[in-house]
Amino acid sequence: MKVFKFGGASVKDAQSVKNVALVLETQGFQNCLLVVSAMGKTTNALEKVVEAFFAKEDYQTEIEKVKRTHLEICQDLFAENHIVYADISTFFIEVESFLKRTKSPNYNFVYDQVVSCGEMVSSKILSAYLNEIQFENTWCDAREFIKTDSNYREANINWEETEEKMSALNQHQCYVTQGFIGSDDNNFTVTLGREGSDYSAAIFAYCLNAETMTIWKDVPGVMTADPRKFENVSLLTHISYEDAIEMAYYGASVIHPKTLQPLKQKNIPFYVKSFLDPKSSGTKVGASEKRSQQESFILKENQHLMRIATRDFSFIAEEHLSQIFAHLAKYKIKISLMQNSAISLDLCLEDMYGKIEDLKQELQKEFNTEIIKNVSLYTIRNANLEQLNKFYQNKKILLEQISQKTIQVITN
């Protein structure tokens, strides 16, 4: 079986849904499973619903906007009496019903129950359209197969139970399902973290012993840098799992960090291709590929540089580090880079849930703490040391770290 993942940009409107069918024509629509993200900016729109709910504001208007957008997309794909309209309406009714009856103060729990609606609706529309044009498939609910703990918004996979559930899927059929979501022991919806649809595809590929996995993007493949941010970029046609894991760790947005480990464990070839040019080769990631020696640039924006120092000028010791890391885990703030001296610790942090000020207040009880917000972290792999001066021009360097041929620089 082959696993294909289509992200939000690839199903953002009716024409994009039709284009998925064109992509499948080039690949062959047999024995495959499609993992689909929410359409376009739907996740952001549903996040506004959750924010309005907790602010005790009008969330129903926001739900209606999202519903109307999807129904308008359907009008360009289906006849007026198609069952998909009722299916979509049911998903949004369930969201409203949940919000009316829930008493939960847990933001993350409510978030997962609401935001997951985006994937349910997009996958239902794509599945119905493919069946309409004779690409026969079965729509399935990923929550029945991907089982997790109750760590809402970033759940951990119960691999044994997930593999057992997926053994029920027929490898000789075609399926359309959702990315980003699973369910816990109480059958509540959980999400796997932002951009988690890639990870979902890898979970299905691993459990189904897939022949290949392909992620369809609006770029030609894995590039030496983001073409929207850098000039003179080129395509990396073949890279090793190790290269891909390292690039994902440093923040390459084209690959989700958790995606690669399940694929590497079973040596499942992994492709990144363009849904705008599906016949092009894209990038192949595999065990047999050599480590890349090409210089590549990775940019992580919206980072925060935090400097933590002891108040009595004593050394930053193990007990201090354990305290700091415990607070970071509590607020789900991730470290992108770390550098320490005798009496201070510099951390470049990614604050996905808006908790950086809470962290600062917590740490200031025992440490002197400073933050520079909204900095950028550049990582240069296989750096050409002779040409670095050009890169450093017109940049204010806040911190620099060099390890072999990898250079990391924080600027603002």
Binding site as annotated, residues: 5-8, 43, 119, 228
* Single-letter amino acid, residue 120: M
| Structural tokens at position 155 | 């759940």
| Structural tokens at position 57 | 């504001």
C-alpha–C-alpha distance, residues 281 and 269, integer Å: 13
Please, what is the end-to-end C-alpha distance for the chain in angstroms?
A: 46
Exposure of 105 by Cβ count < 10 A (0-12 exposed, 13-18 middle, 19+ buried)? exposed
C-alpha–C-alpha distance, residues 228 and 231, integer Å: 8
DSSP-derived 3-state class of residue 400:
strand
C-alpha–C-alpha distance, residues 89 and 37, integer Å: 19
C-alpha–C-alpha distance, residues 144 and 350, integer Å: 32
Sorted by sequence, the CB contacts under 8 Å of residue 130 that are 6+ apart come out as 20, 21, 24, 29, 136, 137, 176
Sorted by sequence, the CB contacts under 8 Å of residue 322 that are 6+ apart come out as none
**Angstrom distances, CA of residue 213 to CA of 178, 268, 353:** 15, 7, 30
Buried b (16+ CB within 10 A) or exposed e, 280-295: eebbbbbeebeebeee
In this structure, are residues 206 and 262 in contact, taking their beta carbons and an 8 Å threshold?
yes
C-alpha–C-alpha distance, residues 112 and 99, integer Å: 12
| Structural tokens at position 124 | 């239902």
* Single-letter amino acid, residue 349: L
| Structural tokens at position 173 | 């059929």
Annotated binding-site members for substrate: 43, 119
Annotated binding-site members for ATP: 5-8, 228
